[in-house]
């Protein structure tokens, strides 16, 4: 997550030069989402653009996206002739093919040492990884491709959970719309928190999501794992009763099964024990409350069914690596009611 320490861009400064790296069949929203954010970013209510977008590709010319919409691009050589502030690599399944083009990966490897900031949207992470930019760094891509990214590039520290990750000056984001969150976080770094929040409002985005927010909820994950929806009703019930003592016996009763048979069947279908699933639902709700309310941490602990603050702290440290207080400080917003 970016901080609020960066100075605002002054109206008399030249726009920051953004270079979007495109390739055939790149996903349109991976380009258009961040582009819209940067286009609308303004400093101190000025009409002066804060960013200058440039589109580049290996050979230049017109590049067609997955939707057929095309972009006119300049060559990588031309893009490097003037100062680049931020380099953003688009995504799409064709990124895996683009990642095999040594002309592209060598150029990105070189530029990553010169530019202030590098980012990828969705499967653009495969191109950064092929260029060696993500070696020994945390990174994320679309959740469906995280395992392949890790297997293909074992030096990358793939974190499948967040919607975006920042490791030094290297940024990466999860699938499709997460590119908007990435761009908003970059604007926040450049122009400050208030500017990013106003921009989110102007784009009619409900809330500027923190990078530590999961790509999707544990409820959605459970629905994907349980393709037939056998435990959907139970999961919805769990979320409504997190403060209770959700024992195996109580859960089994909700699905009219014996505790022993329920435990066996649940773990077989869902891939984790009922107790572990309950813990993840509690964690997700606690994360939501920490970032969207001013309730005390002790109150949130009780509301989510943890065995006191220490139990919640241990859960946060095990799954996220930070304490509840640190999580709130990193990802909360001063504007919550």
How far is Cα 128 from Cα 111, in angstroms, rounded to an integer? 11
- Of 19, 327, 18, 30, nearest to 174 by C-alpha is 30
Q: Is the pLDDT of residue 266 over 80?
A: yes
Q: Is the pLDDT of residue 336 over 60?
A: no
Residues 6 or more apart whose Cβ sits within 8 Å of residue 308 = 301
pLDDT of residue 213: 52
pLDDT of residue 176: 72
**335 vs 241, residue with greater confidence:** 241
Counting DSSP H helices and E strands in the chain, the numbers are 16, 10
Q: What is the CA radius of gyration of the chain?
A: 22
Confidence label for 26 from pLDDT (cuts 50, 70 and 90)? very high
- Of 107, 104, 173, 167, nearest to 142 by C-alpha is 173
Same fold flag, 16-202 and 218-331? no
Write out the two tokens for 122: 């969705």
Write out the two tokens for 50: 């804060």
Q: What is the DSSP string of 147-183?
A: HHHHHH-TTSEE--SBSEEEETTEEEE-STTHHHHHH
Confidence label for 196 from pLDDT (cuts 50, 70 and 90)? confident
Q: Is the pLDDT of residue 1 over 50?
A: no
pLDDT tens track for 71-99:
999 999 999 999 999 999 999 999 999 99
The secondary element (H helix, E strand) that includes residue 61 is: strand 61-64
pLDDT tens track for 271-325:
889 999 999 899 988 988 988 888 999 999 999 999 899 999 999 988 877 899 9
For the chain, give the number of residues: 337
Q: Is the pLDDT of residue 226 over 80?
A: no
* Residue 292 three-state SS: helix
pLDDT of residue 139: 95
- The three-point CA angle 14-19-24 to 5° equals 155
Confidence label for 205 from pLDDT (cuts 50, 70 and 90)? low
The CATH class of 16-202 is: alpha beta
Confidence label for 215 from pLDDT (cuts 50, 70 and 90)? low
Indicate if the alpha-carbon torsion angle 321, 324, 329, 331 is positive or negative.
Answer: positive
pTM for this entry: 0.65
Residues 6 or more apart whose Cβ sits within 8 Å of residue 287 = 212, 213, 214, 320, 327, 331
Domain limits of the chain?
A: 16-202, 218-331
How far is Cα 136 from Cα 177, in angstroms, rounded to an integer? 26
- Of 96, 138, 133, 139, nearest to 115 by C-alpha is 133
**155 vs 47, residue with greater confidence:** 155
Choosing among 3.40.640.10, 3.20.20.70, 1.10.10.60, 2.60.40.10, the CATH entry for 218-331 is 1.10.10.60
């Amino acid at each position: 997550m970016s901080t609020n320490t960066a100075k605002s861009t002054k109206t008399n400064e030249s726009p920051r030069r953004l270079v979007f790296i495109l390739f055939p069949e790149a996903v349109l929203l991976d380009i258009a989402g961040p582009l819209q954010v940067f286009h609308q970013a303004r400093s101190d209510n000025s009409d002066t653009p804060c960013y200058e977008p440039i589109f580049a590709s290996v050979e230049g010319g017109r590049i067609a996206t997955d939707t057929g919409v095309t972009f006119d691009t300049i060559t990588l050589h031309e893009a490097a002739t003037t100062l680049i502030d931020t380099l953003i690599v688009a995504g799409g399944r064709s990124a895996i093919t683009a990642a095999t083009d040594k002309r592209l990966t060598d150029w990105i490897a070189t530029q990553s040492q010169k530019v202030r900031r590098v980012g990828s949207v969705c499967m653009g992470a495969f191109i950064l990884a092929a260029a060696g930019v993500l070696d020994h760094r945390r990174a994320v891509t679309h959740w469906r491709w995280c395992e392949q990214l890790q297997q293909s590039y074992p030096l990358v520290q793939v974190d499948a959970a967040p919607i975006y990750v920042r490791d030094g000056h290297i940024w990466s984001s999860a699938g499709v719309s997460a590119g908007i969150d990435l761009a908003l976080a970059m604007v926040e770094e450049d122009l400050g928190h208030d500017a990013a929040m106003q921009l989110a409002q102007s784009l009619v985005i409900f809330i500027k999501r923190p990078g530590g927010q999961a790509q999707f909820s544990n409820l959605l994950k459970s629905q994907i794992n349980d393709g037939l929806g056998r435990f959907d009703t139970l999961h919805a019930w769990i979320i409504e009763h997190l403060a209770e003592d959700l024992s195996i016996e109580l859960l089994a009763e909700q699905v009219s099964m014996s505790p022993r048979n329920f435990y066996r069947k649940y773990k077989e279908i869902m891939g984790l024990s009922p107790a572990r699933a309950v813990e993840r639902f509690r964690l997700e709700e606690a994360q939501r409350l920490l970032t969207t309310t001013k309730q005390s941490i002790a109150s949130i602990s009780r509301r989510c069914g943890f065995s006191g603050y220490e139990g919640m702290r241990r859960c946060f440290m095990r799954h996220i690596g930070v304490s509840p207080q640190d999580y709130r400080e990193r990802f909360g917003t001063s504007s919550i009611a």
